[in-house]
Amino acid sequence: YEIFSLVAEKLGMKELYTENKTEDDWAEAYWNLSDLSKRCSWEEFNKKGYYIVPVPEDYEPHPAFRWYYEDRDCDTQDYLNPNIKAVNNMNSMEPTPTSKNLGTLSGKLEFASESLKKYTPDDDERPIVPKYIPSWEGHETELYKKYPLQIISPHPRFSFHTHYDKHASWLDEIPVHRVIKDGYAWWPARINPKDAAERNIKHGDLIELYNDRGSVICIAEVTYRVPEGVMHSYGCSAKYDPVVPEPGATDRGGCVNILTSRRMLSKNAPGMAPNSCLIECRKWEG
């Protein structure tokens, strides 16, 4: 607000933009438009900093599927259930002749999936009756002997895909996002102390994460927050920055998705499976 107020002042439009209100004035104005202003005063809220909404005396909890157990129409939000018609932006449910049914083909709890039996009965990786299936790229495969570390690459906290990363330099000053060393902002990769010691890796070392798909240079964060045999590095947000401009070159930007497979969950489930990924790690000597 202060920044835009100063810009408006430079443009000769400060009064038009601010309406002569301070930041606190605007906060109070929006407060007065809310339902909370009917429950306590602005001064009380400003002093305490929060308000706990009291539980109504006639409140009744609605555990999931209680309606099904009691053979009643569904009275909880279940917009994925084709047997129930959601109205009013899913805030209320409109009864139908099948409102007592679950969203399965049988309308009941199923140990054997009727939908899988009907549509994909030959999918060995998504069987009709759930069971444990070893990962196609995990610790029970031959590949594990060559690449004994599993890389976990969840969504990051400070950038969205490649948006902001490499475009907002102030993000490089956040250590859990990037760590500056020798003038370059490196992408952190977390490794357990035991795995690090076995590879002569110390906190702050530049390390190479690699497998048959490619290699990525990161900066090591040695921490007990990851278990042995696992590495953690945020995925999908680092801008690709190859060491040399050649296909297949080692990346120094932290683009760990280079290491993951393009394989889907199964032939009938078009979801990506980035955490079924084995790698090895070593100090970067380049």
CATH 2.40.40.20 domain extents, the chain: 142-283
CB 197 within 8 A of CB 236: no
As a whole number of angstroms, the distance between CA 86 and CA 84 comes to 6
230 closest CA partner among 136, 159, 176, 149: 149
Overall pTM > 0.85: no
Residue 73, classified by CB atoms within 10 Å of its CB into exposed (0-12), middle (13-18) or buried (19+), is middle
**CATH 1.10.3720.10 applies to domain 142-283:** no
Which neighbouring-strand residues pair with 219?
188, 206
As a whole number of angstroms, the distance between CA 107 and CA 116 comes to 14
CB 203 within 8 A of CB 222: yes
The residue with greater pLDDT, 215 or 65, is: 215
Q: What is the pLDDT of residues 26-58, one digit of tens each?
A: 999 999 999 999 999 999 999 999 999 899 899
> Looking at 38-47, 170-179, 191-200, which range is the least confident one?
170-179
Q: What is the pLDDT of residues 50-106, one digit of tens each?
A: 999 899 899 888 888 898 999 988 877 766 677 776 665 554 556 677 788 888 999
